[in-house]
Structure 1
């Protein structure tokens, strides 16, 4: 399975860069440099120019996602299992979820400054709702008879969570994390253009402003690589915690 997935990834990347090379040759415009030039540039400047930006971006994404997953999964599972908690939090979530979270960026920057906290906070605010709603709805879709049979044997709520709710909710939670990871990368790119001189989003936009398209595409490739690594990490967690699916 792993070998087949690796071959598929290599084939897709190879096809993508072949199309990129054809497009660059057909356009003959500096705005779309050939992939060979971008790869050579990436090899030359990664450690000297891009690595620090990529490292800070990874830190912001991972920190935001970890906090979002902890808050969202715990709250969502409790809302799904306990009706009283659901009745209390659901109106708040239904009211705040439709608000465009990116519009809160000025408020977040006023409250938390222009540093790391504001960027991580924005990732949390935007991604946590997907995880809460997914976790809550997954628990509510578990047949109640499953709980009753275990409770009738004297099981505590902790046992019910450990033996039924967590295994049943884990696949859907991992799907929500995948969706949130893509959202987090997009949010990070936007927030890194405000109040910072470090981050892969800043590097890409700075290269664009300097009309250095080779650097710009190098940053875009690194950003895509960060997203790919996060998705592969979630897939690894899927293989570890959801072995029963296979």
Structure 2
């Protein structure tokens, strides 16, 4: 992470803390505890109470995103390059994509149970379509002239994918992954409140039900930290695999 970006993150963090402290002083209610109390509580209970929930949530998110990227990028690239594949799969994608995926949660739980598989499956169902459409449209938007120079030399599809399509699609895939990461965190928070007693979403809602607002805010901070870590990881992938953009 660059020094400039680190300084910006630190500045924004302290700005949020200051505004939070002012709001807490004005409200003067247990519903909005001061940040100092939350940070102290976070230090005291993180490893004993929160870390196991956070670790499991991170596992669920990463597993879901890995499957989404594998499935979504393969299908999207094939749909973008082969018109026959696009003709077959596009109607299916257009029919399923607008359906609110949260409505499928009861079906997923019936089919896959209340364990890890159902939660990972929900993340995949909700994030994979965005990756499919992004990859398909990226390939379709590549100028046809770029393919002619290779195909005229007798290059096959594998060479075209390696030399043209994959480099062109990588930045868009990472953009879709960023969007999918935020969606995955939101979905996970929802699914972790059904049929489980583990996960950061469960921890937050359980603290709210117990009227333990300091624990609740501690969990929210950890959830935000998880998002920051995952987005920073995607940025690192961008710097590694898309250095040519610089």
Deviation at 1:178, TM superposition (A): 0.3
Counterparts in 2 of 1:4-83, with a 5 A limit? 4-83=4-83
Deviation at 1:175, TM superposition (A): 0.5
Deviation at 1:145, TM superposition (A): 1.3
- Does 1:159 find its partner at 2:172? no
Deviation at 1:150, TM superposition (A): 0.8
Residues 49-106 of structure 1: CA deviation (Å, up to 9, x unaligned): 0011000000000000000000000110110000011001000000000000000000
Unaligned runs of 5+ in 2: none
How many residues end up aligned between the 2 structures? Answer: 246
Query: SS of the counterpart of 2:198?
Result: coil
Query: SS of the counterpart of 2:195?
Result: coil
Query: SS of the counterpart of 1:195?
Result: coil
Q: Which residue of 1 aligns with 2:215?
A: 215
Residues 103-124 of structure 1: CA deviation (Å, up to 9, x unaligned): 0000000000000000000000
- Greater Cα offset, 51-60 or 150-159: 150-159
CA distance in 2, matches of 1:58, 1:232: 14
Residues 194-214 of structure 1: CA deviation (Å, up to 9, x unaligned): 000000000000000000000
Deviation at 1:155, TM superposition (A): 1.1
Q: Which residue of 1 aligns with 2:193?
A: 193
TM-score, normalised by the number of residues in structure 2: 0.99
- Greater Cα offset, 55-64 or 145-154: 145-154
CA distance in 2, matches of 1:227, 1:23: 24
Deviation at 1:148, TM superposition (A): 1.7
CA distance in 1, matches of 2:230, 2:153: 41
Deviation at 1:154, TM superposition (A): 1.3
- Does 1:91 find its partner at 2:91? yes
- Greater Cα offset, 140-149 or 110-119: 140-149
Q: Which residue of 1 aligns with 2:240?
A: 240
Residues 176-225 of structure 1: CA deviation (Å, up to 9, x unaligned): 00000000000000000000000000000000000000000000000000
CA distance in 2, matches of 1:24, 1:126: 36
- Does 1:148 find its partner at 2:121? no
Query: SS of the counterpart of 2:197?
Result: coil
Query: SS of the counterpart of 2:128?
Result: helix
CA distance in 2, matches of 1:168, 1:20: 43
Moved over 6 A (4+): none
Deviation at 1:149, TM superposition (A): 1.6
